[in-house]
Structure 1
Amino acid sequence: MIGQHPHDREDSRDGQGSRDWDVVVVGSVNADLVVGVERRPVPGETVLGSDLATHPGGKGANQAVAAARLGGRVGIVGRVGDDGHGGFLRAALAADGVDLAHLTTTEGAPSGVALITLGPDGDNSIIVSPGANARLGPDDIAAAGDMIAGASVVSFQLEVPMPAVEAAARAAAGAGGRVVLNLSPPAPVPEGLLALCDPLVVNEHEAAYLLGGGGGGGDGGPEEPEEMAAALVRSGPRSVVVTLGAEGVVVAGGEGTASIPSPKAEAVDTTGAGDAFTAALCLRLARGDSLREAARYATRVGAAAVRKRGAQSSYPTADELPPA
């Protein structure tokens, strides 16, 4: 069942003036190497693709940039390599005003890289080589303690090692911050970490993973998104958001369960759209929105992000969002 959180939800919403950062992201920083294909190869097959395009990415960096572009005060805790990609990634984050005081350059290690194939329908397949991201550890979290303690919301994903995520989540919760975990890529999560999440953000596949393979696996687990969200709340998190792509999201927590539709959008490239959603969710929670209000705003941001190619290059400013 749901564990005791170190702070009451309503009391945790510090206003903009009481914290140094709206959102601090603890996570990955990658170079996205993207090739467009007419169809994905089957095993043993070679297909021709488009020219290689290199974009700044990584789930952590994506969320930091998306929140900053929406007007948030944002910091990042992570690692890049001492290669050419590292300088490129630093410059991209700095251009959007992300605080890089705790983005460490790792000597002798390559920066993280994501190999992305982009189909004509806008969907993608991704392989991630973590590189320097895999070196992020509890010592980095301790060094960034002031930044983490100064954030209204601290956001995490699982492209960096779990010990770093656990240490940072405990530090954030202990300082009265709100912990948001995006379970991507899916991995086993310690019960104590789940109890700190407010919310846990998952897609349908990640929700099924946490619920033991439910969601159509024929094992009797919940299959409907609303049932998945409610079951996940019972497993420990304070609240849950299940993302459904173009179908919107389901939120569940102390106020019950609700479905929130997504605005209509013609998908050009879905790369990083989930990160844009999570970033917007975190920012609006930091500014005092309820979970439902924040999720409704975040669906607008996610829908806007699929209309352009690339991850960070597709993220809108607040002025660029279509009307609600």
Structure 2
Amino acid sequence: MKNIALVGYGVIGKRVADAINRQDDMILSGVCDIISDWRIQNAAQKDYGIYAATPNAEKEMVANGIAVKGSLKELLEKADLVVDCTPKNIAARNIEIYKKQGIKFIVQGGEKHGTTGHSFSAETNYATALNLNATRVVSCNTTSILRTLGALKRAGLLDYARGTLLRRATDPWESHLGGIMNTMVPEKDIPSHQGPDAQSVDPDLDVITSAVKVPETLSHMHYWNVKLSKAATKEEVLDALKTSNRIHLIRYEQGLVSNNTIKEMYLDMGRPWGDMYEVALWEDMLKVVGDELFYAYVVDNQAIVIPETIDAIRALTGLEADGQKSIDKTNKSLGIN
């Protein structure tokens, strides 16, 4: 059993906390944050040990009736590894604390590859993370790219890939703070950052991405044009994609015609928050023309990196040397079939 500390109890952090609690080989030592609102109050209702990141944060928490068990330093002293789920750029500052404390750490995809020197995706490079001191679980979109292109690569079908991402403008709970309405905002740089980010995990991928922010908050959608290494049938491509335990093939004829219908399916399945840990890829839209492949899929940016984070914990702490065994264990605990 390994003791795991969590810093940052937001959209990703609360999901990571619950996922850790579902494992039988790790224990959540506590959660640390600066907030004292409903988010951390819900964590306290779940009987998670609450720690304050700063003295001022502790005062605010106590004033709001939250029992504080200690400071960030005290939490880290109880843990074998810390998962940092704080907003972008904050984790990059926190890692100096972790290094001084001598504790292993995981950051999320909002941070740069250089913060850890290693980027992680379970199906692609689990073995390279074994017993490392730190890694970065790549972003939601990058995770989806590595799962889908990785499956094609393992089957010897991938030559190169070109993808367009339709990116949700903001998280649902923050829609009132900004975002975009009645317009679309193309990212000016091609490639967008997701292609090079995927190459930080698999340098051999020949991938270029472009991205557009769109006025919705449920998910991201990807369109891909892939040059195959040889002419192939649709069945060969589908067989390759099925080698990933974290790609869910869906069909229009099931009534799954949009991101909102997919979300509703996962809510009906009883997933916490309706979370979709898998890439939802339309099987009946997928088209093969000679050595060209076209397909589209949906990414739940709040959920897809959760199983990856659990696998990263096992790799860094040495709980499981076999990546596929960790993936299978994580999938079973989270209800990924």
Bin for the TM-score computed over the shorter chain: 0.3 to 0.5
TM-score (norm 1): 0.40
TM-score (norm 2): 0.39
Q: State the structure with more CA Rg.
A: 2
